[in-house]
Homo-oligomer: A and B are copies of this chain.
Amino acid sequence: MNSDEKSFHMTPDEFRRYGHAVVDWIADYHARIESFSVLSQVKPGQIRASLPEDPPAQGETFDAILKDVEQLILPGVTHWQSPNFFAYFPCNASGPGILGDLLSSGLGVQGMLWSTSPACTELETHVMDWLVSMLGLPEKFLSSSSGGGVIQDTASSAALCALLAGRERATHGSSNKKGATGRLVAYVSTQTHSSLEKAAMISGIGTDNLRQIGVDDNFAMRPEALARQIKSDLRAGLTPCFVCTTIGTTSSNAMDPVAEIGKICRQHNLWLHVDAAMSGTAMLCPEFRHLQSGVELADSYNFNPHKWMFTNFDCNCFWVADRKALIQTLSILPEYLRNQATESGAVIDYRDWHIQLGRRFRSLKLWFVIRHYGVEGLQHHIREHVRLAQEFAEWVRNDDRFELAAPAPLNLVCFRHKAGDAANQTIMDRLNRSGDLFLTHTKLNGKLTLRLCVGQTNTKKRHVERAWQRIQEEAGKIGK
């Protein structure tokens, strides 16, 4: 055998055999997922200590690798796909999502330009247009209008792109050229996701110039406080450029009044971004769309199908009303990327729509999910999750020891034991250590608050009932 023929690659037959084995492993994993502690109970360093210090000089068998997944890796997994996962925001996956992503890996295309795989660009544009109508978003976000949508990795990246576009609009493109000035101001609420603070750092705007506007009793941004702050900044000779409103804050699922804030943004020509990272999925159901009333005033909008829409991580959908503003902000065109399709202007090159240059074929999994479930199937499961959360909220309301800490408009319930922070911390720690379920906390009005978020693919009534039963059990031990 000459060296050209020698090969260490997995053969096609091996790929079939091991591929089937991994598919079966995943199916089995989901079948036994309730047998694991939801939150991994390993100690820091425990997983690394089980791994060999040096990389293998020679290749190993696939069976050996899969065995190590089971024995070495699995104990260190926190089971996000467990129906008993109620922490943070969900990150729900599904069969069609996983298989769409597998196909993307198998095709292995890199869609930085239209020409580097036209289907990668066009399917994405198409599915993003579908979602505009599926979520009741304004037509200006359609690619056939002035806008358009793009799949990003996360809401953090989308928010950064929105902030950059707002920065460039306010400075007529000069920040890109001359640098940011430290005189630009952006606005969020005290409840806005931390990614906006990060975006203010990254973009050269600076956290000193990120105004955290106060919220009302429901943790929603107060429009009059925003208007006052903008005027004050203008008087100080600063340049307001951007407002981020949230449909469903991470902390408590608060709904900012987009319509009122939007009017203020139009008045002062500020870029209005709407972050609906988890709750955007609820807009599949017309009965929840009142929560995003005013969205027609937005310059950009994003939600994460990888949170609540059965599409495995990562998949963020980001729309802008004016695609030129976004493209002008992020466009670069070196010689080695020039090509006839780009020069013709007849195509979208998504590399100009986000931070990265390279991109995988992420629309496949989203397309698989939408086609497998249909709008009807997606609506059904979202409504079920909301119904289960509402039932849970009702149980909390009817238990004297507990109180709701915020409105629960959709699938997140913020609640606490009335005995105070220490009691709530103890309840949460004991529950999470038990492995029976996993929930996390926030602070609202300075008080430690438990959060129960219903959104995992296979969470059913019995899981929520059991969670409440376990919470009551732990509450029963408080003060004893």
Q: A77-95, CB under 8 A of B: which get 1 and which 0?
A: 1111100000010011111
Residues of B within 8 A of A45 (CB): 122, 346
A207 within 8 A of B: yes
Q: Is A395 located at the chain interface by the 8 A CB criterion?
A: no
A244: CB under 8 A from chain B?
Answer: no
Chain B CB within 8 A of A272 CB: no
Are B313 and A358 touching (Cβ within 8 A)?
A: yes
Of A26-34, A219-227, A287-295, A468-476, the stretch lying at the interface with chain B is: A26-34
CB under 8 Å from chain B, chain A span 49-65: 51, 54-60, 62, 64-65
Whole-angstrom CA separation of A329 from B375 in the bound complex: 42
- Is there contact, CB below 8 Å, between A24 and B16? yes
Q: Which residues of chain B are within 8 angstroms of A205 by Cβ–Cβ distance?
A: 179, 204
Q: Is the CB of A31 within 8 A of B57?
A: no
Please indicate the chain B residues that have their CB under 8 angstroms from the CB of A344 in the complex.
44
Asked if A125 CB lies within 8 Å of chain B CBs, one says: yes
Binds B, one of A192-200, A254-262, A263-271: A192-200
Number of copies: 2
Contact of A126 among B51, B94, B131, B310 (CB under 8 A): B51
Question: Which of A1-9, A228-236, A317-325, A402-410 contacts the other chain?
Answer: A1-9
In the complex, which residues of chain B have a beta carbon less than 8 angstroms from the beta carbon of A94? Answer: 9-10
| CA distance in complex: A110, B20 (Å) | 24
Other contacts beyond A79-B109, A105-B312, A110-B313: 12, CB < 8 A? A4-B461, A9-B310, A16-B23, A22-B102, A44-B346, A59-B371, A65-B367, A80-B110, A157-B356, A164-B201, A202-B355, A306-B358
The chain B residue sitting closest to A65, CB to CB, is B371
B residues in contact with A62, CB < 8 Å: 96, 99, 372
Which residues of B sit under 8 angstroms from A367, Cβ to Cβ?
65
Asked whether A209 lies within 8 Å of B105 as measured between CB atoms, the reply is no
Separation of A14 and B384 alpha carbons in the complex (Å): 23
Q: 29 A-B pairs, CB-CB below 8 angstroms?
A: A3-B380, A3-B387, A8-B376, A15-B95, A22-B102, A40-B117, A47-B119, A47-B123, A48-B126, A55-B133, A55-B370, A57-B375, A72-B119, A76-B119, A76-B122, A78-B109, A88-B116, A88-B336, A101-B101, A175-B206, A176-B206, A177-B208, A179-B204, A179-B206, A180-B180, A194-B332, A194-B334, A201-B330, A251-B336
A330-375 contacts to B, CB under 8 A, are 330, 332-339, 341, 344, 346-347, 355-360, 364, 367-368, 370-375
> Would you call A422 an interface residue if the criterion is a C-beta within 8 Å of the partner chain's C-beta atoms?
no
Q: How far is the CB of A352 from chain B (nearest CB, A)?
A: 9
- Whether, in the assembled complex, A160 has its beta carbon less than 8 Å from a beta carbon of chain B, the answer is yes
Task: Return chain B residues, CB-CB under 8 Å to A183.
Answer: 179
B8 touches A373 (CB 8 A): yes
The count of chain A contact residues (Cβ–Cβ below 8 Å) is 172
Cβ of A39 under 8 Å from chain B: yes
The answer, yes or no, to whether A390 is at the interface (CB within 8 Å) is: no
Indicate which residue in B9, B134, B194 contacts A458 across the interface (CB closer than 8 Å).
B9
Residue of A24, A96, A193 with highest tally of chain B CB at under 10 A: A96
- Say whether A106 contacts B98, CB under 8 Å: yes
CB–CB A118/B78 < 8 A: yes
A177→B64 CA distance, assembly (Å): 49
Given contacts A26-B103, A461-B4, contact A336 B440 (CB under 8 A): yes
A26-B357 Cα distance, complex, nearest whole Å: 26
Quick one: which of A26, A73, A103, A179 has the most chain B CB within 10 A? A179
Residues of B within 8 Å of A78, CB to CB, are 109, 115-118
Question: Are A102's CB and B23's CB within 8 A?
Answer: yes
Tell me the complex Cα distance, A198–B65, Å: 39
Residues of chain B within 8 A of A177, CB atoms compared: 206-208
